[in-house]
Amino acid sequence: MASKRTKPNSPRSLKQTEVRGPAQDKYSVLLPTYNERENLPLIVWLLVKSFSDSGINYEIIIIDDGSPDGTRDVAEQLEKIYGSDKILLRPREKKLGLGTAYIHGMKHATGNYIIIMDADLSHHPKFIPEFIRKQKEGNFDIVSGTRYKGNGGVYGWDLKRKIIRLYRKEVLQKLIENCVSKGYVFQMEMIVRARQLNYTIGEVPISFVDRVYGESKLGGNEVVSFLKGLLTLFATT
């Protein structure tokens, strides 16, 4: 009796071919951390599982800003567990801002696509294959997560939350050259500059969840800086 075969047009085979894409594509995740000792092992495990299940070539770059809670020690253990080819710890001595963390991480990225996201589990890595499918579907320069379209939802999320994004590496490099913000407004400025430079942007509906462990990294002074950054952004665009 002949073995059962998956039909070429079945959902399963479509999913496999859509996500994997060209063999040369590699995705570098930039993961800035500050006091994420408890969240980091889980977010890394979820990232590895999502990429491995989808057959995606990847690396995860952890940029720890001198966390006093031992996040760096945890990152070092994860590097040993998963291998230094998949987990790259690239720490800094102190907290220097989200924008500069991405710039630092970019210097070490070997992928031709860059994914930026938070380590506090406010974004679930299960959405990443959908970002990749969306990018290939429309040949977009950028794909952004949104809670305003389709089935996207929000659970305990507020406007201070950062957004998961996928960029072509060369596009992100160009945007970084044009951005003036260094803190939490950096991501917002990136998308404004992207529209100015006529880069194409795709959107994927995702659910946002408030942080699983620990307190928000956005303190009172950073909220003020965030608002000042917005004013500067509006004044220069």
The 10s digit of each residue's pLDDT in 17-67 is 444 444 589 999 999 999 999 989 999 999 999 999 999 999 999 999 999
Residue that is written with structure tokens 């999913």 in the block: 15
> How far is the C-alpha of 118 from the C-alpha of 122, rounded, in Å?
7
Q: What phi and psi, each to the nearest 5 degrees, are found at residue 40?
A: -55, -50
Specify the amino acid at residue 204.
V
Instruction: Provide CB contacts within 8 A for 231, sequence distance 6+.
Output: none
> How far is the C-alpha of 69 from the C-alpha of 61, rounded, in Å?
19
Q: Which residues is 87 bridged to in the sheet?
A: 60
Alpha carbons within 13 angstroms on the beta-carbon side of residue 180 total 10
* pTM higher than the cut 0.85: no
Specify the pLDDT at position 228.
56
